[in-house]
Amino acid sequence: MREVYQEQLGELAEELASMSTMVGTAMERATKALLEADLELAEQVIEDDVQVDEARARAEEHAFGLLALQAPVAGDLRTVISTIHTAEDLERMGDLALHVAKTARRRHPNAVLPPDVQPYFAEMGRIAVKLAGRARTVIQTQDVDAARGLEEDDDEMDDLHRHLFTVMMSPEWSHGVAAAVDVTLLGRFYERFADHAVSVARRVVFIVTGKMPNS
């Protein structure tokens, strides 16, 4: 029975790892749609978001099933409870990619971003995809050092996000209020995506050590 139970926990981790891949792909495509005003790609991200929602539902159903049938204790209980919270974080990452795609669709055929901020969003998109990939690896390996390493990428994202405000507050900003609002909201979407990836990594640390890292 114990061996079967461990297999079930492993399957649960793989479900979360798969979600990490899904949300990373979603943000990669949403960023491309944003930068290139690609309506077809934006629509694909929007349409595929239901798959992330369904994956969260399956992971939660699996986790609650283990709680009900196996009555886990100690470390196993941490794993199951953390899985439920991790699935929530990953679904939220998918929602943030969805928001980016919807912004691209709403402004189509016009470009959303002024040329002078496009490089920032290209880099933020790259970091977001990297974080989703690293979250997947951490979920699969339960490598505490790798989990803690996500904080560095999050710091890069935060620096880019802060610099966007410097650009928009510059006297040289000539793109108007509407563009500034779009840039502000989009920057926040990427920042929150990174924050949720870090939250996933922190939950892995909690599973392994029994202690939640400080925020």
3-state class of 212 per DSSP? Answer: coil
pLDDT in tens, 57-94: 999 999 888 887 766 677 788 888 899 999 999 999 99
Per the structure block, which two tokens stand in for 193? 């995506």
2-209 falls under which CATH superfamily? Phosphate transport system protein phou homolog 2; domain 2 (1.20.58.220)
pTM of the full structure: 0.94
pLDDT at residue 71, as a whole number: 66
Per the structure block, which two tokens stand in for 64? 């609650």
pLDDT at residue 2, as a whole number: 61
Going from N- to C-terminal start, the domains of the chain cover 2-209
**DSSP labels, 5-54:** HHHHHHHHHHHHHHHHHHHHHHHHHHHHHHHHT-HHHHHHHHHHHHHHHH
pLDDT at residue 78, as a whole number: 84
pLDDT in tens, 17-30: 999 999 999 999 99
Residues of the chain below pLDDT 50: none
pLDDT at residue 215, as a whole number: 55
Contacts of 127 (CB under 8 A, 6+ apart): 153, 156, 157, 160, 190, 194
pLDDT at residue 212, as a whole number: 77
